[in-house]
Every structure is written in C-alpha cells, then in structure tokens.
Chain A
C-alpha cells in the first residue's frame, strides 16, 4: 500500500502568474486541486476610507490606482457619479474626448490581458507584441494627459486638457494599424492548436452560475448573455455609436478569450466613429461651481470597464468631501467564482483559469 498525502500549497503572494500580490491556498492531491481558498488584501490601501477625507477632485488620482490598467474608466466613474448628483452638463467635446480615451484604455487593458495570459500559458512572444501596440496607446494617452498609467485626466464637469494639435489624426492613424496587428495576433495565437487545447472547456460555468456569482464583463458575456452597459444602459454618448455586444456561448476560458479579442475590434469601431464625429471646436470643461459640493443625498452609477461593471456609490452630506464613497470593483466580484472553478483541476489549469478571469489586484484589494 502506498501512502499518499495531500499537500497544502501556497500559490503566491509572490508567484509569477498571480498578476500581483494575490495568494491562493490550495490543497492538492498530486497535481489535482481538491480545495482552493483565495486570500486577498495584500494590496489594500483603503482607498474608500481615504476618500472620505478628500475633496472630489483629489479623489480622482486615487481612482487611477484601483484598476491601474484602465485608469480612464475609473476616472470616469467617479466624475460621472458626482456629475449625476450635481446634474451638470458636460460639453460635447469633453464627452468625445472621454469616450476616445476610455476606449483607447480598454484596448490597452485587453492587450495587457492578452499578452500576460499567453505568458501564463508559456508563450513568451505575444506579451512583447501586445506591449508594442500598448506602448503606442500609452504614448497617445501620455500626450493628452501627461501620464502613462495614472492619467488623472478627467475632472468633474469635463476633462483637464483639450486634445493637442494633431492628436485626433494620430488616433485615426492608429485604428487601421491596430486592425492589422489584430489579424497577426490571430495568426500567432487564435488558431494555435496547443493554445486551443489549453483553453477549451477550461473553467466552464453556465449563465445562471455567472449571474449568481454576480460576474460581469467578459466573464459574464462568455456565457452568451448580451449585457454590456455601454448598450444596455447607455451612459455618456455611447448611444451615438453603432457597435455590437460581443458574446460567446461556451462559458469557458476560450469564450472569454474570444469576447476580449472581439471587444478590441468593437472598441476600434467606436473609436473610428468618435474621431469622425469629433466636434471641431468647443469647450472641454463645463460650467462647474468653484467648490464642488454635491447636494445632500446619495447616488450610484455604473459603467462598463474593461473588466466588468464598475460602480461608484456616493453618499453626500452636502460637504466638500463625500460622507461615504464605495466602488463596486469588478475584479473583486469576478474573483469570487475562482474556488468553485478550481476544484478538480490540475496546476496547469489553475493558471489558465485564474488568468482568464483577468483580475487586477489593485482593484481586487481596493
């Protein structure tokens, strides 16, 4: 009789594939996972509590640091919440700039995901190809906002800067280039049999399970549910653009992969229309009172970030600082399904499943 033993293995907080300081305590039998417990909080900075002592403008740089791969959407959700409370009008040009920067950010975020996911699966090159394109986007955003990662670009009532000369043309030129590269990605990865074998049928769940776990973003759409706030509950000026909600019906890592790749395409479509319709002149800052004091009350807004539904709840007492600020951080919610998906899988699938959820630890831990 051979005596076998279960092994307790700490994956992370320092592990190449946990995408930050995420710890996963797994019980394994050989390579088979029989129990998994995520431990989070290593990157907790108490953003929501800090925000209670800050004026609204001062909170914006903190939102940059939540989902640091798509800071524009975070900027927007806070501004959007305050603007909703104060019923401000946003100038046309500012709305377009917001949409363009957010969609650029979405592409950049998906590119990072694509590259790192393939890196998790053992392919080194896609990462560098993805970062080539991401670098271009980052340069564009750097030019308009002055930051490469933490943009701090949006303000309550508009945006900080107008587009510099020739910037819109650069974005215009970027779109066909990105399309071409996307086709190359297809050649390199999407048809690759080894890759397909690694992702097909991995981490599968149904539509009902996804809804029960309150998943959002690509994690939800991969089950076939067409729910994208940009279309389902249009905010800003998203109702002016024609684009599709990307879905897949497999509900596995392969579905999530397809959804994200298609989303890059759809974002390019939105960008195309946005730079086409971009108003020639106009203000980029609306009429905002000098001191931002939302009226007493509360508001909750939600928008579609690259990772899912990001929400912002503000309870105001009519002061300069919020009484309570809460972010619904999509990565945090999406992560909850992980233990369920991991049971019965092996080590290699662990990485494939965790990677496909696409978490950003800054957002999980807040």
Chain B
C-alpha cells in the first residue's frame, strides 16, 4: 500500500508543475542552427562538380549542367537541379561535401503534400526556399 501512496503523491505533485508541451502549429518549434531541414540551393554558386549527387546515399539528386554562356569563362553552370523528397532522408551529406556551399540546409521540416509529385522539388523551388538558413555550415 505504501508504494501506491508514494505514486499518488508523485502524480499529485506534478499536477501544478509547468506544462511542457509545445503549442506547435501556432508557435514554430525552436530548432538549433544545425538542424537538418529542407535544402536551399544557390544556382550561382554551383560549379556542377557532381559531388553531391555522388555522395547522396539514396540517389535522390539529379542535376545537369551546361556550358558557361560567357565563353571567356571555363567550367559549367547549373542547368537543372532536382531533389526528390520522397526518398531524401535529410542526411546532410550533400551539404557536407559541396565545395562551394551551393547547397545548404535550412530549419524547415514541413514537407507534407497531397500528392507525391509535389515532393519532387526543382531548382527554382530550392532556390526560393530561403528562410531560416543554416548559419554555420561547416564544422
């Protein structure tokens, strides 16, 4: 009986404690800077080195480059860049390898859509996804 009484006391004590739940949809969840959310892409920084597509463990990045329009410059510029968020596991490896930080993580994680097709994000979408960017991108 004594053990039961102790338990009752414990729950009663907790009744007036501070509540710990988040008011989630009304207030955004506070997330640390390093949080791995949906990527932001800077087309102008990308040098089309393909490292991100190679490291991606789920093969969800597809990219194509094209010749630099200004023929005096060497190298390529990005033409299309898609991430398939149906299979992206937000593992952070693409942003880790990118030499120019053309792709970085943001703090957004809300990816619910009504159709699978909408999870296929292209260059324009990823470029416009520019809120809550990660500040410190390299360790």
Direct contact of A and B (CB under 8 A): yes
Q: Which residues of A contact B (CB under 8 A)?
A: 54-55, 57-59, 61-62, 125, 129, 132, 135, 139, 142-147, 150, 152, 160-162, 164, 184, 187-196, 284-285
Quick one: given A135-B20, A147-B36, A187-B9, are A57 and B3 in contact (CB under 8 Å)? no
Interface residues of chain B, those whose CB is within 8 Å of chain A, are 1-4, 6-7, 9-11, 14, 20, 31-36, 55-57, 89-93, 96, 105, 139
Checking B6, B14, B89 against A61 with a beta-carbon cut-off of 8 angstroms, the contacting residue is: B89
Cβ–Cβ < 8 Å partners of B89 in chain A: 61, 150
Could you tell me if A194 and B93 are in contact, using CB atoms closer than 8 angstroms? no
Q: Determine if A54 and B57 form an interchain contact, defined as CB atoms under 8 angstroms apart.
A: yes
Q: CB < 8 Å: which of A57, A164, A196 contacts B34?
A: A164
Contacts A/B (CB < 8 Å), 23 sampled? A54-B57, A57-B55, A58-B93, A61-B57, A125-B11, A135-B20, A143-B32, A145-B34, A146-B36, A147-B90, A147-B92, A150-B89, A150-B91, A152-B36, A161-B34, A162-B139, A187-B10, A188-B7, A188-B10, A191-B2, A192-B3, A193-B3, A285-B139
**B9 CB, min distance to chain A CBs, angstroms:** 7
In the bound complex, how far is the Cα of B31 from the Cα of A193, in angstroms?
41
Which of B7, B9, B36, B90 interacts with A189 by CB under 8 Å? B7
Contacts A62-B57, A188-B10, A189-B7 given; does A143 touch B20 at CB 8 Å: no
**Which residue of chain A has its CB nearest to the CB of B89?**
A61
Chain A hits for B33, CB < 8 A: 164
B134 to chain A, nearest CB (A): 8
Chain A interface, >50% SS class? helix
Which residues of A sit under 8 angstroms from B9, Cβ to Cβ? 187
Report B-chain residues with C-beta under 8 Å of the C-beta of A160: 92, 96, 139
B57 x A194 contact (CB < 8 A): no
Closest to A132 in B: B20
Residues in B with CB closer than 8 Å to A189 are 7
Shortest Cβ gap from B41 to chain A (Å) = 18
Closest to B22 in A: A135
Closest-by-CB residue of B relative to A159 is B139
Give which listed residue, B2, B10, B92, contacts A146 with CB less than 8 A.
B92
Q: Inside 8 A of A187's CB, which chain B residues have their CB?
A: 6-7, 9-10
Given A187-B7, A192-B4, 12 additional A-B pairs, CB 8 A: A62-B57, A139-B32, A142-B35, A146-B35, A150-B89, A152-B91, A160-B96, A161-B139, A164-B32, A187-B6, A191-B7, A194-B4
Chain B residue at smallest Cβ distance from A61:
B91
CB closest residue in chain B, given A192: B3
Asked whether A61 lies within 8 Å of B34 as measured between CB atoms, the reply is no
Report Cα–Cα, A196/B6, bound state, in Å: 14
B5 → A minimal CB distance (Å):
9
CB distance from A285 to the nearest CB of B (A): 8
Q: Roughly how many angstroms separate A230 CA and B92 CA in the complex, as a whole number?
A: 30
Instruction: Select from chain A the residue with minimum beta-carbon distance to B36.
Output: A146
Chain A residues contacting B7 (CB-CB under 8 Å) are 187-189, 191-192
Judge whether B10 and A193 touch: CB under 8 Å.
no
